[in-house]
Amino acid sequence: MNKKSVFNKTVLAASIAMLSACGGSSSQTSGSGTTVGVVTGFGSVYVNGVEYETDSASIDIDGLESIETSLGIGDVVILKGSVNADGVTGNATSISCTDELEGYVLDLSGLVDGVGTINIMGQSVTINIDTVFDSDTLASISELSVDDIVEVSGFADGIGSILATRIETKNDTDEDLDVELKGLISNLDTTALTFTIGDLTVDYSEALEVDAGLADGVLVEVKTQSAISGNITDGFLMSASKVEIEDDGDIDFDGDEGEDIEMQGMVSGITDTSFLFNGQLVEFDSLEIDDDFDMASLVDGMIITVEGHIAADGSFVVEEIEEDHDSDFEVEGFVTDKTDTTVTISQGDSTLTFTVNNDTRMIDEQDEGSSTPLHFFSLADVAIDEFVEIKYYVDETSEENIATELEREDAPSPEPVLN
């Protein structure tokens, strides 16, 4: 592809600041740069189709020094490093991760068969087939209840909508539990000491810490030590214990001239003349996209990956835009064959073969007998006759089944034989 456009630097800035960091193959050229995207595997760290070695990388989660095993599949990270000439391996120098929000589930009426929208802390969180769900107590996202506490990673527009790439349940005995969310202030009332983020009204009249300079449009993180009150009809209210301005309240990114940037993001708010990329306005007439990228193909909720570099004037020159692939199908079965890059499973009297690549989310949930799930899990760990669940799409050109997620599970119990 040869696609070029110029985004104002604030678009890049907003995208990185508003991404929940804590999903698309890469065509990033070799050299140092910044990558923002979803973690798909470990053993190194796989992000945006590249396997990054992490031996010399610093890792922080929520601003605190951490380790690689504290990251999870589906987390969105900001990774600095370099990509080798092969385009699929590289070296990370730093990885940072922070959740988009952590708090109470307030409404589940929009969730049907594990997909749809749920209200978490007054934010509309979209759950799709590709959302990774992790819980020590619940078997699936359909078992969530109102007032459960969850941590959400994903792509946000800053004004109340989030596409979740990972949801993890928490409990109120967790030492690191911190009920919080980030977003742009609206409807600020300096007399009543309230403002809104999404559908949540924040009352900061009794907050122990409040940064100076609050104003509509300012990016903040708010925390509470109390349960959220209200309901879906009348709205929800948070009594804030702390209001902190994030990133000086604006959405800047101090990229250096010539720095390569690659990021994933969510498309929304499409009109005849523009769309939003992670909540930031992109005008069609500012783009110089050639004919092999069809802007008419954009739909709300689509995830795209953009690549480019920082120009001398501070603008972000986009050299490529491509659509990331969502999962279209989901199957499960016993492994009958595999190679270094494919796995074949049984489907009744037939079999299906899937291509597994660096973009495939690799998840191990096998814990029967003496087994424990592997954090550093890859296709090499999958054995013949093991049971797996695979999400995939069919490549339009090659007609291959491309696995977007491979999850190894305990084999189902055989059905009882009736006499």
pLDDT tens-digit readout, 5-53: 555 544 554 455 444 456 333 444 456 789 999 999 998 999 999 999 9
Judge whether 349 lies within some domain: yes
Of residues 102 and 306, which shows the higher confidence score?
Answer: 102
| pLDDT bucket at 105, cuts 50 / 70 / 90 | very high
DSSP letters along 43-65, please?
A: TTEEETTEEEE-TT-EEEETTEE
Top-ranked range on mean pLDDT: pick from 145-154, 258-267, 362-371: 145-154
- pLDDT over threshold 60, residue 281: yes
Judge whether 168 lies within some domain: no
pLDDT at position 288, please?
Answer: 60
The mean pLDDT of 312-322, rounded to a whole number, is: 73
The mean pLDDT of 323-352, rounded to a whole number, is: 95
DSSP letters along 210-277, please?
A: E-S---TT-EEEEE-SS--EEETTTEEEEE-SEEEESGGGS----PPTT-EEEEEEEEE---SSEEEE
What are the backbone angles phi and psi of residue 44, rounded to the nearest 5°? -150, -150
pLDDT at position 358, please?
Answer: 95
The mean pLDDT of 306-335, rounded to a whole number, is: 83
For residue range 144-188, list pLDDT tens digits in order: 999 999 999 999 887 788 999 999 998 766 555 678 898 889 999
- pLDDT over threshold 70, residue 115: yes
Q: Is 385 left (phi over 0), alpha (psi -120 to 50) or beta?
A: left
What span, in angstroms and rounded, lies between the C-alpha atoms of 404 and 294? 23
For strands 260-268 and 31-42, give the pairing. parallel
**How much of the chain exceeds pLDDT 90, in percent?**
58
Classify each residue of 378-406 as buried b or exposed e, where b means 16 or more C-beta atoms within 10 Å of its C-beta: bbeebeeebbbbbbbeeeeeeeebbbbbb
| pLDDT bucket at 265, cuts 50 / 70 / 90 | confident
What span, in angstroms and rounded, lies between the C-alpha atoms of 365 and 373? 5
What span, in angstroms and rounded, lies between the C-alpha atoms of 79 and 28? 13
DSSP assignment letter at 417: P
By C-alpha distance, which of 90, 31, 86, 87 is closest to 57? 90
| pLDDT bucket at 287, cuts 50 / 70 / 90 | low
Judge whether 167 lies within some domain: no
- Domain region containing 391: 329-409
pLDDT at position 283, please?
Answer: 74
CATH of the domain at 383: 2.40.50.140
For strands 123-127 and 132-134, give the pairing. unpaired
Judge whether 3 lies within some domain: no
Judge whether 391 lies within some domain: yes
Classify each residue of 281-294 as buried b or exposed e, where b means 16 or more C-beta atoms within 10 Å of its C-beta: bbeeeebebeeebe
| Paired tokens of 152 | 């959400």
Of residues 271 and 32, which shows the higher confidence score?
Answer: 271
Domain total of the chain: 1
> Mean pLDDT, the chain, as a whole number?
86
3-state secondary structure (DSSP) of residue 143? helix
CA distances from 60 to 21, 22, 79, 358 (A): 11, 9, 11, 23
Cβ neighbors of 305 (< 8 A, separation 6 or more) are 24, 26, 37, 48, 262, 263, 264, 265, 320, 321, 322, 324
Of residues 400 and 251, which shows the higher confidence score?
Answer: 400
pLDDT at position 418, please?
Answer: 62
pLDDT at position 254, please?
Answer: 54
Judge whether 363 lies within some domain: yes
pLDDT at position 419, please?
Answer: 56
For residue range 235-252, list pLDDT tens digits in order: 899 999 999 998 765 554
Task: Count CA atoms closer than 13 A to 181's CA, side-chain side.
Answer: 35
pLDDT at position 28, please?
Answer: 46
| Paired tokens of 418 | 């009736």
Judge whether 28 lies within some domain: no
The mean pLDDT of 58-82, rounded to a whole number, is: 94
Tokens 């760290």 belong to 45
pTM, whole model, 2 decimals? 0.87
Judge whether 402 lies within some domain: yes
